Amino acid sequence: MSTGTLTIDLGALAANWHALAKIAQVETAAVVKADGYGLGIERVGRHLAEAGARQFFVAVAEEGVILRRALGSGPVISVLSGHMHGDADAIAGANLTPMINSVDQMLHHVEALPAHPFGIQLDTGMNRLGMEPSEWSALREIALAQNPTLLMSHLACADESDHPMNEHQRAQFEDMTQGLDVPRSLAATGGTLLGDDFHFDMVRPGIGLFGGLPFAAAQPVITLDLPVIQIRDVAAGETVGYSNAWTAKAPSKIATVSGGYADGLIRAMGPNAKFHCDGMAVPVVGRISMDLITVDVTALPTPPASLQLIGAKQSVDAVGDFASTIGYEVLTSLGARYTRKWVQ
C-alpha cells in the first residue's frame, strides 16, 4: 500500500462522548462540524447517535444537510452560523435549527421560515458570533415571543481553567438569560470540564470527542501510519531534502515515507517532528515536502515497513506542538489520500 492508513476508533469516540456526558449530567450534544473534525461527518454522526447523542451542532447549513441524510429525521441538528441568506431551502428541507446571531438574521428567519424552530447565540465577551447585550436587550421580548429552542454562548478561554474570562462570561450569560424558560448552553469541551456552574441545560463537546485537549482523559480516536517507500544509506556530510536542509553528522539510514503537506502534515513541523516504531521515537530530517517525509531511522534495530505519526505514543496535540499549532488544525487537515480504516 502506497498511502498512509488513518485508523478511526469509533468505540473510543463513543466512549469519550459517554465520559463527557457523565461529567456533565445534563443533555450532551455532539459538535461534528468540519466534516466531523476531518474524520467523516456521516460515519461519526451515525455512531454518536447510536451512542445516545440526540443533539448535534454543525458550522454551516451545507454540513447539516449531509448530516441529516445520515441520521434521518430524529436528532436535532443546529447550525452555528445561523440563518444565512440563501439557506432557507436547506434549513427547511433538512429540518435544521439555525442559531440566530443578529437582529438581521432574526428578521430574515421569521420572514423566510415563519414558525420554523431556531435558537439564539449570545455574545458574552468573545466578540465573534452572537447578539451583544444591548442588541439582545432590544430584541429579547420579540425573540422570546417566537419560542426559541435554545439560548447559547461560547467561552473564549475554557482551555485555561483558571482564566478570569471564564467566570466573566458565565456571569454575563447568567445575567442575559436568568429567569427565562428556555434551555441554555454555554460549555463546549473545555467548559464541560470547568464544573457544574458552566453546564446549564446542555453541553456541546467537540474536540474532546475526538481525543483532543483539553480533555486529557480522552481515549485516542485516531492512529496514522505512513508506509516507508525507500531506505537509503547517507554518508557523513551528505544532505537530505530540499535546500540541503539537513546534513548527516555520521553515517545514517534515512527512510522516505509516503505523506506530506498535501496530506495535512504541516510543513512547519518538520524540524521538530518525530515518528514512532515499536515504541521508539525517530526524528524527521530535512523538509517536509508535498508527498514525502524523510526520517532518520538509524537507531532502529531493523528496517521499518511503516512509521506511526499519531497514536498511543503521540497525540494530535503533540503533533500540533511540533508546528506551534493545535491538535484541531492537525485533525481537521488530514487529507483525502489516506486509506481510512474504521474499527469499533
Which triple of cell numbers denotes residue 70?
445520515
Whether 145 contacts 120, CB under 8 Å: no
Q: For residue 47, count CB atoms less than 10 angstroms from its CB and return exposed for 0-12, middle for 13-18, buried for 19 or more.
A: buried
Instruction: Report the alpha-carbon distance of residue 155 to residue 188 in Å, rounded.
Output: 8
State the catalytic residue, choosing from 22, 33, 274, 313.
33
Clarify whether 242 is annotated catalytic. Answer: yes
Clarify whether 313 is annotated catalytic. Answer: no
Instruction: Report the alpha-carbon distance of residue 148 to residue 120 in Å, rounded.
Output: 7
H-helix or E-strand spanning residue 202: strand 202-203
Instruction: Report the alpha-carbon distance of residue 223 to residue 316 in Å, rounded.
Output: 9
Range list of H helices, 60-188: 61-71, 88-93, 103-112, 133-145, 164-177
Please choose, from the candidates 81, 173, 167, the residue with its C-alpha nearest in 3D space to the C-alpha of residue 123. 173
Q: Within 10 Å of residue 248's Cβ, how many Cβ atoms?
A: 19
Residue in the block written with cell 462570561 = 169
Q: What is 90-117 written as a DSSP string?
A: HHHHTT-EEEE-SHHHHHHHHHHSTT--
Whether 43 contacts 10, CB under 8 Å: yes
Q: What is the CA radius of gyration of the chain?
A: 23
Which triple of cell numbers denotes residue 84?
444565512
Active site residues: 33, 242
